[in-house]
Amino acid sequence: MTAASIQGQDFHAIDPPGFFLKDKIAEGTKLIDENIDVLIVGSGPIGATYARKLVESGRKVWMLEVGAQEHRTPGEHKKNAIVFQKDVNSFVNVIKGDLNLLSVPTSKVTSNTLNPVSYSNAAYIQNGQNPNQAPHVNLDNAAATRTVGGMAAHWTCATPRPHPKLELPDTYDSKRWDQLFSAAERLIGTSSDEFEDSIRQQLVKRTLQEAYADDDREFKALPLACKRSEQNKSFVKWSSTATVLGQELIDILKQEPSRAKKFELLDEHLCEKILPVNDDPKQVWGVKAQDLRTGTDKLIKAKQVVICAGAVLTPQILFNSGLDESLPALGKWLTEQTMTFCQIVLKKSLIEKVDKDPYHLGWKKIVEAHRKQFKADPLPFPFDDPDPQITTPVSDKYPWHTQIHRDAFSYGLVPPAFDQRVIVDLRWFGLVKPVESNCVTFEHKIKDMYGMPQPTFNYELSDEDAEQANEMMNDMTTVASKLGGYLPGAEPVFLPPGAALHICGTTRVGTSKTDSVVDENCKVWDFNNLYLGGCNVIPTRIACNPTLTAICYALVGAEAIDKALG
C-alpha cells in the first residue's frame, strides 16, 4: 500500500489486521515496511546495547533519535576533541548547551525596566514553561539531551558497580549479576587504571587513605569507561554510544542506505507514539514518528519495539500512546539522587611534598624534567599530569557514592585566576528510597517544545532521606578538609533536585503491573513485543552512576527479544 493511498484514512483501516490509532492520517504520511526485526527509539548507550547485541544475532535493526548526528562518528563523546582535553573548563558550556530542562514553572516576575510600550503580562505561558509545575516539588535541574548518543555525548563515564545489598534488588543473584556487570563493563570499556600514573591521582588517593587508615574506609580509582590514547598518553578516549555500537555497526551506518542493511539510524526523528494492532492489543504494529526536518509523518512497522528515550521521555511516549490507564505505575516510584558539591584548592603542604616523592613512585625525575622545561612554573605537576579520579564506594557506614576528581559539569567553573592543577572537585550522591508519590505526570493540554505532553514533577524527600543527605554533606566537608580549603564561590552546597541527571524508576522492573511497568525481561506488561530500556527500569534506590546497571538490564532485554524472534 503506497503512502498516497493511505492519506486521510483511519489508521485501523489499513494493512489488515491493521493498527489502532484514533487520529486521521495526515497528508504526505509515509508507510515504511522494511521487514524490520527491531525498532529502537533512543540512541544512548542503552539503545546502543540493544542494537549491538541484536545485530550481532543477525537481526535487522532500525534506531530513531530525536536529536541530530553532530559528529562524523555517530554517538561520539564530544569531550574526545583535543581542545576540551586541554581545557576541561571549556567543556562546561558544551554540556549546558546540550541540556534541555524538562519542567520550568511559569514565571510570574515582570521586569520593571521594560520599555513601557512593550507588551507585559506575567500570566502568559512562555516558551517551554509549565504552568502546572509547583516549584517546591519540582526537579529543577532535570534535563534531557537530544542528540545522537544522548547523555553519553557529554557524560563523566563513571561506571561503578552498585552495592549488592543497598542498591540492587532483594532477589540479587550474585553469579548472574556478576556476569551481567562483566559483560556491561566490556561493552562500555570500563577501566580503573587510566589515571593511576597521575601524580595528583596518587597524591590525593594516598592522602585520604592515610587520613582514614583507622576507619577501614576504601579510597580507590574511580571506574571510568575510557582508554588512554596509545599515540599520546596525555589524551583519553572517552566511551560513548559509539563505543557500545562498536566499529562493525559504525561501518554499517556509514554505508549507503539499502534494504539489505542490518542497521539504520534515523536522526532528527521524533517518536510520538506506539501503534498497537487493532484486533490484538497485546501486539505492537510499530510506531508513529515525525521527520523533524521535513515535518513528514512516518508509520514504521517492526516486529519488536524498544523504547530507550530516557527516564522522562520514555514514559512520555507511553502516555502519548494512551497506555497510562493500563499501566498504573507509569511515571511513579521516581527516584533521583540527592547531591552535594564543593571544590577545594589543594593544601600547600601536600603540593610541597611532591618534590620529596614520599611514596617512592618516581616523581622526582618527572618533576625535575618539568621544572627544567618550565622554569617559571611554581607547581611541581606537569601540565599534562592527568586529573585525579577517585571514589569511595557505597558502604553500610557511608551509604553514598563519591567522586573526588576534576571534570566538567554544567556547574563548577574554575575562575581563570586559579590554576586547574590545584583544584579538586568533590561530588557526593545520596540514596533516595522509591515511593509511589514521587512521580512524573503528563497531560495533553500542555505541550513541550516538541509538541509532546508536558512533563510535571512531584518529588519530595522523606525525613529519613533528608537526614541521610545531611550526614552525607557532613562527610563531604570532612573529606574535603583533608585535602585543602574551599575555592571561593565553590563552598559546600546542595545542588538543585535533578542535578545528578540520574532519574530512575519511572518505568521500573517488577513482578506485577500494580507497582511496575515492565517484567524482569524489560517487556511492558500486557504486550508481547514492546520493551523498554534505560535508568527508568531500575527499580531500586541507587547512589552510584546508574548507566552500567541500566546496560545490564538492556542485555537481559536484548536476550529476551532475540529468543522471542526465534
Cell of 186: 566490556
Q: CA 121, 125, 130: angle at the middle one, nearest 5? A: 140
Per the CB < 8 A criterion, the answer to whether 486 and 288 are in contact is: no
The domain limits of the chain are 4-76+241-325+505-540
Q: b/e per residue, 73-89, with b = 16+ CB within 10 A?
A: bbbbbbbbeeebbeeeb
Through-space distance between the first and last CA atoms of the chain, rounded to whole angstroms: 28
Residue 358, preceding peptide bond in cis (omega within 30° of 0): no
Give the catalytic positions in this structure. 502, 545
State the Cα–Cα distance between residues 500 and 155, nearest whole angstrom: 11
Task: Please tell me the pTM assigned to this model.
Answer: 0.94
Q: Return the C-alpha torsion angle 526, 528, 534, 540, nearest 10.
A: 40
Instruction: Write out the chain's pLDDT in tens, 566 residues.
Output: 344 334 444 454 455 446 666 666 777 899 999 999 999 999 999 999 999 999 999 999 999 999 999 999 999 999 999 999 988 889 999 999 999 999 999 876 667 787 888 877 665 555 668 999 999 999 999 999 999 999 999 999 999 999 999 999 988 899 999 999 999 999 999 999 999 999 999 999 999 999 999 998 999 999 999 999 988 988 999 999 999 999 999 999 999 887 789 999 999 999 999 999 988 889 999 999 999 999 999 999 999 999 999 999 999 999 999 999 999 999 999 999 999 999 999 999 999 999 999 999 999 999 999 999 999 999 999 999 999 999 999 999 999 999 999 988 878 788 888 999 999 999 999 999 999 999 999 988 999 999 999 999 999 999 999 999 999 999 999 999 999 999 999 999 999 999 999 999 999 999 999 999 999 999 999 999 999 999 999 999 999 999 999 999 999 999 999 999 99
Query: What percent of the chain is helix, strand and coil (3-state, nearest 5)?
Result: 30, 25, 45
CB 334 within 8 A of CB 505: yes
Answer for the pair 92, 413: CB distance below 8 angstroms, yes or no: yes
| Closest CA relative to residue 248, chosen from 80, 56, 60 | 56
**CATH for 4-76+241-325+505-540, options being 3.20.20.80, 3.40.50.1370, 3.50.50.60, 3.10.530.10:** 3.50.50.60
Q: How far is CA 243 from CA 77, 184, 185, 352, 536, in A?
A: 9, 12, 11, 40, 22
